[in-house]
Amino acid sequence: QVQLVESGGGLVKPGGSLRVSCAASGFNFADYQMSWIRQAPGKGLEWVSKIDSTGSIIFQADSVKGRFSISRDNAKKSLHLQMSNLRVDDTAVYYCARDGSYNLWDLSDYWGQGTLVTVSS
């Protein structure tokens, strides 16, 4: 079965950096686009970034452009989100999600359990 397991969350000071990762199993990771989606405490869902199956096409939300970077390692079946210059309003649970395998506009079908990133002094 499809499994997505996030790791790397924690407490970081404003202006700091953090890298969160997602280990995938149960499907052919190299065939699928992947996304990071976040949810601030008590708030709704906000898409962060998306990467195509080869890592050559990347989309990012305006709120994280220039600060966050998505990447993937198909050999290791892993997805990463490098976050820098973190702000208090980046505090959220970060979910790794599997998108479609054909069209870039296909949205997520499986989600991990999330990892909490807290930005606070």
Contacts with other proteins by CB under 8 A lie at: 35, 37, 44-47, 50, 59-62, 95, 104-114
To other proteins, the closest distance from the beta carbon of 17 in angstroms equals: 23
Tell me whether residue 96 or residue 119 sits nearer to other proteins (CB atom).
96
Q: Which CB sits closer to other proteins, 14 or 89? A: 89
Closest to other proteins by CB, 85 vs 113, is 113
CA distances from 39 to 31, 33, 102 (A): 26, 20, 26
Answer whether 53's CB lies under 8 Å from 47's CB.
Answer: no
Is the CB of residue 69 less than 8 Å from the CB of residue 92? no
Handedness of CA 65, 68, 69, 75 (dihedral sign): negative
φ, ψ of residue 58 to 5 degrees: the values are -130, 135
Shortest distance (Å) from residue 37 CB to other proteins: 8
Least spacing, CB of residue 103 vs other proteins, in Å: 9
Nearer to other proteins, 17 or 113 (CB): 113
Least Å distance, CB 9 to other proteins, is: 14
CA distance 88 to 92: 9
